[in-house]
Amino acid sequence: MKIRRIALLLAAAAVLEFLVAGSRYRALWPVDWFLLATAAVARSGDFVRAVLTGAIAGFAEDAISQPMLGVNAFAKALLGFVLTLVSVRIAFGGALAVGAALGVASLANEAIVALLSALLAQSPIVLISREAIWRAVVTGITGGALEAAWNFGWRDWWKRRRLRRLR
């Protein structure tokens, strides 16, 4: 994936993060957009770019919402590597599998952040909460839907639709 496209992905993730988290409907669909951006780069199979994208996305997330800089960067860089590994080495595809992997990745992100915060800031550890599970579910659903939309044969569908109309 080209660097310009990665930058666009990260910018889109940041804008979506603010649009959703800044609105009063944030609890309805709290997608981890930065994780989706990292996963999109990981899907292309480039380990280096996936790790760096994860780190940059994590730092952006830390800068706007976390008390300690680097916790999300650590988690997302690691997840970038693991997701690339999964994408390259395992026969893997389809909206369901991608959605499930993203859901698990979101929970793992949560757990790593909680562990690092507990270790370094001596804060009470909250590994899995209802909100974390809901975030994982909606991140998985959104990722799966985006994967399905990406793989859908839009051109054929449009042609068939036009032919049906002409008849």
- By CB under 8 A, residue 47 contacts another protein: yes
Of the candidates 136, 117, 167, 148, the one whose C-alpha atom is nearest the C-alpha of residue 35 is 136
CB of 157 to another protein, least distance (A): 19
Q: How far apart (Å, rounded) are the C-alpha atoms in residues 165 and 75?
A: 50
- By CB under 8 A, residue 142 contacts another protein: no
Of the candidates 71, 98, 70, the one whose C-alpha atom is nearest the C-alpha of residue 83 is 98
CA distances from residue 30 to 42, 74, 85, 127, 144 in whole angstroms, order as listed: 22, 21, 26, 18, 15
Q: Pick one of 3, 5, 7, 93: the residue that binds another protein (CB under 8 A).
A: 93
CB of 92 to another protein, least distance (A): 6
- Rg of the chain over Cα atoms, rounded to whole angstroms, equals 17
Q: Pick one of 36, 37, 55, 101: the residue that binds another protein (CB under 8 A).
A: 55
Stretch that binds another protein, among 71-79, 137-145, 157-165 (CB under 8 A): 71-79
CA distances from residue 42 to 14, 36, 39, 118, 155 in whole angstroms, order as listed: 18, 10, 5, 28, 26
Which positions from 99 to 128 touch another protein by CB under 8 A, shown as an x/- string? Answer: -----------xx-xx-xx--xxxxxxxx-
Alpha helices (runs of H) in 44-94, residue ranges in sequence order? 47-65, 71-89
Q: Pick one of 12, 29, 45, 146: the residue that binds another protein (CB under 8 A).
A: 45
- By CB under 8 A, residue 88 contacts another protein: yes
- Site residues (CB under 8 A) for another protein? 1, 14-15, 17-27, 30, 43-52, 54-55, 63-71, 73-74, 77-78, 80-81, 84-85, 87-93, 110-111, 113-114, 116-117, 120-127, 129-132, 135
